[in-house]
Amino acid sequence: MIRIRRRWSTLPGQPLSELDKKVLAYQNKGALVPWRKMIKTPEQIEGIRRSGVVNTGVLDLVEKEIRPGMSTLEIDRLVYEYTTDHHAIPAPLNYEGFPKSVCTSINDVVCHGIPSEREILREGDIVNVDVSTILDGYFSDASRMFLIGEVPPEKRRLVEVTRECLEIGVKTAQPWNTLGDVGYAVQRHAEHNGYSVVRELCGHGVGLAFHEEPDVEHVGRKGKGMLLVPGMVFTIEPMINMGKRTIFCDEDDGWTIFTADGLPSAQWEHTIVITETGNEILTH
Ligand code: MF3
Ligand code: CO
Q: What angle do CA 146, 284, 161 make, to 5 degrees?
A: 45
Residue 167 lies in a domain: yes
151-165 tens-digit pLDDT: 999 999 999 999 999
Residue 77 near residue 150 (C-beta atoms within 8 A) = no
Q: Tell whether 11 is covered by a domain.
A: no
Find the 211 Cα to ligand 2 centroid distance in Å: 7
Domain span at residue 230?
38-281
Q: How remote is the CA of residue 17 from the centroid of ligand 1, in Å?
A: 36
Residue 26 domain flag: no
Residue 18 lies in a domain: no
Domains contained in the chain, number? 1
Q: Which residues in the chain come in under a pLDDT of 50?
A: none
In a domain, 8, yes or no: no
Ligand 1: residues with CB < 6 A are 92, 95-96, 98, 103, 112, 130, 132, 141, 237, 269
Q: How far is CA 175 from CA 114, 229, 232, 248, 262, in A?
A: 36, 5, 9, 35, 38
**Per-residue DSSP letter, 37:** G
pLDDT in tens, 101-117: 999 999 999 999 999 99
Residue 24 lies in a domain: no
Atom 12 of ligand 1, nearest CA residue: 92
Q: Which residue from 76, 57, 193, 200 is spatially nearest to 127, judged by alpha carbons?
A: 76
Return the sign of the alpha-carbon dihedral for residues 12, 18, 21, 26: negative
Q: How far is the CA of 203 from the centre of ligand 2 (A)?
A: 6
Q: 42-65 and 72-85 helices cross at what angle (nearest 10)?
A: 140
Ligand with minimal distance to 271 CA: 2
Judge whether 175 lies within some domain.
yes
Beta bridge partners of 120: 71
Task: Verify cis geometry, omega within 30 degrees of 0, for the bond prior to 153.
Answer: no
CATH number at residue 205: 3.90.230.10
The phi, psi pair for 48, rounded to 5°, reads -70, -40
Query: pTM to 2 decimals?
Result: 0.97
Q: Residue 254 falls within a domain, yes or no?
A: yes
